């Protein structure tokens, strides 16, 4: 204890910065120096469930208000609050960098547009279920030039706001040149129309983009996006539930997009009416692909799957869930543990239950390729991790 008492704060900070949150609480009880060093780490993230109690604590306890300077992340995804409470909380956190909101329509545009002025250092914003207009995004672009992650889901955009949306938002968002991750999904028809007029033709200004996720997008929005976007650093793409485009048209759009983005290593095209022709396009355009998800595309055949696997040497994960590819068409897989590779169910074409492939891992892929190297049944080190799959939800 004597040695611990003479350690400088800088050394203690290096010691505690990599310990778990649970252990941080124990470190804070060692002595005053450890308490001082651990306090910033303990307060980095606030997950708030009761806005009223938090605001009361900040207003009554001066010392508690002081530690708010250490907060970098606020998670309000499970907290119901008024617009005034939201602004009061944000105003208490001067160094806020990450904000997660999903309080539904209780948060409206009149309050949301004021948030960026309180958070000029904001790097990540996630909003699900709120109401926004051009004014919100204008404020975001005006004050948050360091924004790196933007996630908008199920947001409401009124028809009246749509008409004004196209004139000024592109210029405002263009100032967010550091944007790396963009995720958009689950808008109503009016929301997609607004985004089509605003973003689809202007997202090329986001030259730093590495991750893009779009789901349940309108056919017009997807068409304009795939024909105009040019993101030289793009590596991760999610494009799910694309409907309203004919098979050959979708393939043409994807071919053009993928050929101009050859550095993509992670591609998700679930439930998008794909065929083997799209697999051919991916095979030719993306030589460094590691992860591919074509789940819920029942027009894909076992022949197309086999041909694709033989031509993509770096692929480690291939999601074929609900593609109705029978395990029996890949008899070589019976030599390994197939527990996690397939599921037993009845398909639309077969009334008798059969085993169908779900997600092929590296071991299964190597087996199909008839690799000469030894295949380890539990070698999953290079497989895609579940935490990576949800990069568009949280940072």
Q: Which fold has domain 235-385?
A: 3.80.10
pLDDT score recorded for residue 263: 96
pLDDT score recorded for residue 166: 45
Of 378, 343, 337, 375, give the one whose Cα is nearest residue 357: 343
Q: What is the pLDDT of residues 98-108, one digit of tens each?
A: 999 875 546 77
pTM: 0.82
pLDDT score recorded for residue 88: 83
Q: What is the pLDDT of residues 14-70, one digit of tens each?
A: 888 888 878 887 888 888 888 888 888 888 888 877 777 777 766 655 566 677 788
Q: Supply the mean pLDDT for the chain.
A: 80
pLDDT score recorded for residue 196: 74
Q: What confidence tier does 161 reach under pLDDT thresholds 50, 70, 90?
A: very low
Query: Rounded mean pLDDT of 324-331?
Result: 91
Phi first, then psi: give them for residue 166, nearest 5 degrees.
-80, -20
Question: Buried b vs exposed e over 366-380: b needs ≥16 C-beta within 10 Å?
Answer: bbbbeeeeebeeeee
Identify the weakest region by mean pLDDT among 69-73, 88-92, 232-236, 261-265. 88-92
Express as a percent the part of the chain with pLDDT over 90: 32
Q: What is the pLDDT of residues 369-390, one digit of tens each?
A: 874 344 444 444 445 544 444 5
Q: In this model, does residue 213 exceed pLDDT 70?
A: yes
**CB-based contact 191:156 (threshold 8 Å):** yes
Distance between terminal CA atoms of the chain? 38
**CB-based contact 247:218 (threshold 8 Å):** no
Q: In this model, does residue 296 exceed pLDDT 90?
A: yes
pLDDT score recorded for residue 4: 62
Helix (H) or strand (E) holding 85: helix 83-91
Same fold across 56-200 and 235-385: yes
Please provide the CATH number assigned to the domain covering 56-200. 3.80.10.10
Identify the weakest region by mean pLDDT among 54-63, 312-321, 342-351, 378-387. 378-387
Averaging pLDDT over each range in 84-88, 143-147, 372-376, which range is the top one? 143-147
Averaging pLDDT over each range in 165-174, 242-251, 300-309, 341-350, which range is the top one? 300-309
Q: What confidence tier does 168 reach under pLDDT thresholds 50, 70, 90?
A: very low
Classify 89 as helix, strand or coil: helix
Strand partners, 127: 101, 152
Phi first, then psi: give them for residue 253, nearest 5 degrees.
-65, -45
Query: Rounded mean pLDDT of 180-191?
Result: 85
Query: Rounded mean pLDDT of 81-104?
Result: 82
pLDDT score recorded for residue 386: 45
Of 62, 112, 61, 66, give the one whose Cα is nearest residue 90: 112
pLDDT score recorded for residue 137: 80
pLDDT score recorded for residue 171: 54
**Distance in angstroms (rounded) separating the CA atoms of residues 188 and 251:** 25
Phi first, then psi: give them for residue 326, nearest 5 degrees.
-65, 140
Q: How do strand 211-215 and strand 181-185 relate by DSSP bridges?
A: parallel
Q: What is the pLDDT of residues 241-284, one digit of tens each?
A: 877 676 667 788 888 999 999 999 999 999 988 889 999 999 99
Task: Domain ranges for the chain, please list them.
Answer: 1-42, 56-200, 235-385
pLDDT score recorded for residue 103: 59
**CB-based contact 148:180 (threshold 8 Å):** yes
Q: How do strand 73-76 and strand 98-101 relate by DSSP bridges?
A: parallel
């Amino acid at each position: 204890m004597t040695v611990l008492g003479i350690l400088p704060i800088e050394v203690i900070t290096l010691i505690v910065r990599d310990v778990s949150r649970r252990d941080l609480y124990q470190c804070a009880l060692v002595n005053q120096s450890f308490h001082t060093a651990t306090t910033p780490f303990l307060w980095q993230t606030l997950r708030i469930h009761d806005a009223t109690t938090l605001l009361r604590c900040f207003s009554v306890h001066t010392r508690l208000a002081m530690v708010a300077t250490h907060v970098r992340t606020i998670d309000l995804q499970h907290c119901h609050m008024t617009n005034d409470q939201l602004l009061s909380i944000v105003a208490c956190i001067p160094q806020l960098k990450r904000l997660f909101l999903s309080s539904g329509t209780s948060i409206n545009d009149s309050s949301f547009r004021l948030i960026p002025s309180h958070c000029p250092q904001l790097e990540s914003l996630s909003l699900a279920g709120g109401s926004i207009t051009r004014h919100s995004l204008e404020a975001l672009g005006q004050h948050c030039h360091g924004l790196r992650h933007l996630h908008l889901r199920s947001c409401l955009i009124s028809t009246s706001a749509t008409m004004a949306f196209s004139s000024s938002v592109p210029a405002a968002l263009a100032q967010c040149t550091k944007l790396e991750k963009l995720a958009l999904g689950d808008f109503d028809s009016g929301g997609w129309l607004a985004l089509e007029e605003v973003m689809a033709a202007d997202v090329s200004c986001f030259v730093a983009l590495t991750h893009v996720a779009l789901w349940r997008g309108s056919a017009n929005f997807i068409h304009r996006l795939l024909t105009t976007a040019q993101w030289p650093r793009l590596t991760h793409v999610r494009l799910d539930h694309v409907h309203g485009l004919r098979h050959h048209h979708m393939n043409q759009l994807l071919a053009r997009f993928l050929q101009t983005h050859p550095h993509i290593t992670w591609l998700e095209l679930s439930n998008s009416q794909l065929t083997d022709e799209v697999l051919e396009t991916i095979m030719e355009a993306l030589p460094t692909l590691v992860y591919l998800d074509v789940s819920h595309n029942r027009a894909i055949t076992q022949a197309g799957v086999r041909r694709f696997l033989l031509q993509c040497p770096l692929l480690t994960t291939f999601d074929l869930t609900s593609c109705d590819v029978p395990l029996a068409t890949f008899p070589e897989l019976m030599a390994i543990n197939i527990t996690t590779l397939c599921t037993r169910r009845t398909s639309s074409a077969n009334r008798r239950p059969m085993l169908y492939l779900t997600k092929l891992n590296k071991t299964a892929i190597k087996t199909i390729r008839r690799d000469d190297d030894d295949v380890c049944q539990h070698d999953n080190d290079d497989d895609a991790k579940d935490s990576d799959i949800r990069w568009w939800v949280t940072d």
